Amino acid sequence: MLVLATVGFMLCFWAWALLAPLGPTIRDDLDLASFQQSLVVAVPVIVGSLGRIPVGALTDRVGARRMFPLIAALTALPVLYLGHLADSLVEVLVGGFFLGLGGTTFAVGVPFVNAWYPPERRGLALGIFGIGTGGTALSSFTTVQLADAVGRAFPFDLVAGLLAVYAVVARLLLRDKPGRAVPVGSLLARTTTTMRMPATMQLAFLYAVAFGGFVAFSVYLPTYLTTAYGLGRSDAALRTAGFVVLAVAMRPVGGWLSDRLHPVPVLIGAYAAVAALALLASFELPLIPVGTLAFLCMAAALGTASGAVFALVARLVPPEQVGSVTGVVGAAGGLGGFFPPLLMGAIYGAADDYTWGYVLLAATAGATAVFTVTAVRRQVR
């Protein structure tokens, strides 16, 4: 069940991230401004993020066995539309809006995996499931290369086909845990109750910085590397994929460390590291070796923090509410990734420099570390 959920999550995230590597190409083809290009890659992020709130609540009620194949099948439709029909800014934005559905599968998989594992193993299990975020790395590694080698529509056709196959396989093989806790009450009432829980808002803030930072880099780093360092598009996409792979690989490590130690000290260390590394990146030092090392270490810290946040969810949230809480927390994480690309595009458009964007990231990560030491630690106690 863990493997099936992780594969489905990865495929849907692959679809969700298809537009980001093609950002520079879309900018040139449609003659877009920097802010418009940022908007194209950010729209799927915000839709996929906000959509996690109702999807998480629905998963608590009807189970992942229904939700996973349904979302996979529906996501294939905007993928095909973007690959074959969208040829203007408005059409790409419309396709990106519906493409955001793929990002909601996070709120399907977390309660599903959480139900199958005992508390002492949930941190590692959820971290392994989080490897599905590596779908963004698959997109970074393959989208530009396949588009150049075969044709612009081929990456979209490939992903749509894989989603259709997965939808059938998931419908046949996926099973919810027998006797899982099913909540009562309407979706609206349960969502309202979830939003009022202090732990929900705290976890949402932590994840907005951790996973939001990961998403922001995964969608904007190709643009940053081509603009600030003059790299080719393919080279920038491959370097971004390396960033994503390392961040994804560190999610299980963050979960495992949280099982062995506790999520709070793991989070404090990770956020402090992000703050220091973002400040270092603000100087735009040579990419080899200092800049590369700073970005890779930042990827490791963001991945560790993302894994630790959901280890904390497993400790603080009753099983029947994990889907609803995950929806809110996951939405916050996605929204955390929506605004930085827009902000970076706006800052570069106004000042022709990225320095202040990294300074703001450093300040945010430092404040989050302090918040974890104080408010989150009190909540855990």
Question: Tell me: the pLDDT tens digits for 270-283?
Answer: 999 999 998 898 88
Nearest to 104, CA basis, from 42, 59, 168, 39: 59
Q: Is the peptide bond before 289 cis (omega within 30 degrees of 0)?
A: yes
pLDDT at 214 > cutoff 80: yes
Nearest to 305, CA basis, from 347, 353, 272: 272
Buried b (16+ CB within 10 A) or exposed e, 340-373: bbbbbbebbeeeeebeebbebbbebbbebbebbb
pLDDT at 261 > cutoff 90: no
pLDDT at 165 > cutoff 80: yes
pLDDT at 348 > cutoff 80: no
Task: Among 96-100, 280-284, 297-301, name the one with the lowest average pLDDT.
Answer: 280-284
Residues 6+ apart with CB under 8 A from 373: 268
Separation of CA 205 from chain center: 14
| pLDDT at position 62 | 86
| pLDDT at position 70 | 94
Helices (H), 229-376: 233-260, 263-281, 292-316, 322-351, 355-371
| pLDDT at position 299 | 92
Is the overall model pTM greater than 0.75, yes or no?
yes
The pLDDT-based confidence of 225 (bands split at 50, 70, 90) is: confident
Nearest to 203, CA basis, from 316, 286, 364, 343: 316
Rg (CA), the chain: 19
DSSP code for 229: S
Nearest to 21, CA basis, from 159, 170, 122: 159
Cβ(251)–Cβ(310) below 8 Å: no
pLDDT at 329 > cutoff 90: no
Average pLDDT over residues 42-71: 86
Residue 55 vs residue 188, higher pLDDT:
55
The pLDDT-based confidence of 366 (bands split at 50, 70, 90) is: very high
| pLDDT at position 266 | 94
pLDDT at 213 > cutoff 80: yes
The pLDDT-based confidence of 161 (bands split at 50, 70, 90) is: very high
